[in-house]
Amino acid sequence: MSHNISDERAIFESFTSSVPIYGEVTATIYRADGTIETKTIRNIVTANGLNEIAKLASGTGSAAGYLAIGTVTAAGSLGSTDFGEVIRKAGAVITNSKSFIVITATYGGAADSITSLALETAAICNHASSGSGVIWNLATGVAATLANSDTLNLTSQIRCGSHDL
């Protein structure tokens, strides 16, 4: 029996047009001199992330609980699995609100040994170890380079439904 990719694509597009699954990342940089830089970036939920959400609905998936940052500047896609990961942290806040999954983590320049790196990509992951587990989403455009006393706070969310109850 042959596998028809175009049928899968049509089913996926039909599903995502009726139940939007998307997200965004808010990156806030607190500079040592007191300045604050904030930006919100739309992300892409990866195919593996969509599969993991579906598996969780049936009780077989692994919940997301980690945020990672990387250095890749290319935009993510459904098939993205590599983003030049530099560091992964357990979420300080892991919650859901209405139809959103929300995870927040904070990174310190010197504290996390990430000074002078061009941090570009943020991702929700479901495993504690770098390079392991599923990358649920990718947001490119963080554009943060931290000095010793700077901190970066990331809040990443994925919308998993269309209601606003």
The reply to whether the predicted model has a pTM over 0.85 is: no
Residuewise pLDDT in 10s, the chain (165 residues): 455 556 666 665 665 555 567 789 999 999 999 999 999 999 888 889 888 888 888 888 888 899 999 999 988 888 888 899 999 999 998 877 767 788 999 999 999 999 999 999 999 999 999 888 999 999 999 999 999 999 999 999 888 766 555
44 within 8 A of 80, measured Cβ to Cβ: yes
Q: Where are the domains of the chain?
A: 21-159
* Cβ partners under 8 Å of residue 28, min gap 6: 36, 37, 38, 152, 153
The kind and range of the H/E element at 101 are: strand 100-108
The DSSP secondary-structure symbol of 135 reads B
Q: What is the dihedral of CA 153, 155, 156, 162, to 10 degrees?
A: -160
Task: Select from 25, 28, 21 the least CA-distant residue to 41.
Answer: 25
